[in-house]
Structure 1
Amino acid sequence: MTMIKHVHHPKYKALVEWLITARKEQKLTARQLAALIDEPFQFVSKIETRQRKLNVFEYWQYCRALNLDPSEGLKIMGTAED
């Protein structure tokens, strides 16, 4: 098994798309989400455009701000195609 080390891998892309969809379904802008997690807008922008990876703790905070179960995102990554 090879470690996934880049943000363009289909599994990471599926995770980020899930987060974006959740944000949009809640009618939050990227700026509003950034304010909720106390980060600059550029942080959210770079995550959503896959210019930056989320670490585990950031992912957990992102999910909390969007009222998402972090394990659901992990399931999505597990089912996304390589």
Structure 2
Amino acid sequence: MAKTLGTGRHRALIALLIAKRESAGLTQTELAAKLGEYQSFVARLESGQRRVDVVEFLELADLLGFDPHEALDRLSRIKE
């Protein structure tokens, strides 16, 4: 399997998460607190230095108020 960090889909995922956090009116620090993590955890996700696993993705969708199925459908249509 090829590396996924930095691919078009990974960049689109990051952009989606940033946009959803901002539209929820949350800072990185506030989102981190809701996740029980440090701000640096969110910063690493949003800078593309860290992958988002499925369970984290579902928790982020719940906290940020977006449909994970719809988001994955959109991401699946992105060609590398």
TM (normalized to structure 1)? 0.88
Aligned partner of 1:22 in structure 2 is 20
Q: Distance in 2 between matches of 1:20 and 1:72?
A: 16
TM-aligned CA deviation for residue 36 of structure 1: 1.0
Which shows bigger deviation, 70-79 or 15-24? 70-79
The 8 Å contact of residues 11 and 80 in structure 1, kept in 2 or not, is answered as yes
> What one-letter code is carried by the residue in structure 2 that aligns with 1:21?
A
Q: Distance in 2 between matches of 1:70 and 1:44?
A: 18
| Identity percentage of aligned residues | 31
TM (normalized to structure 2)? 0.90
TM-aligned CA deviation for residue 6 of structure 1: 2.4
Q: How does 1:28-67 map to 2 (within 5 A)?
A: 28-67=26-65
Q: Is the alpha carbon distance of 1:49 and 1:10 closer, same or farther for their aligned partners in structure 2, counting shifts above 3 Å?
A: same
Q: Distance in 2 between matches of 1:4 and 1:26?
A: 33
TM-aligned CA deviation for residue 76 of structure 1: 2.0
Q: Distance in 2 between matches of 1:12 and 1:77?
A: 9
Q: What number of residue pairs does the alignment pair up?
A: 80
Task: Extract structure 1 runs of 4+ deviating beyond 4 A.
Answer: none
User: RMSD between aligned alpha carbons?
Assistant: 1.2
For structure 2, the 5+ residue unaligned runs are: none
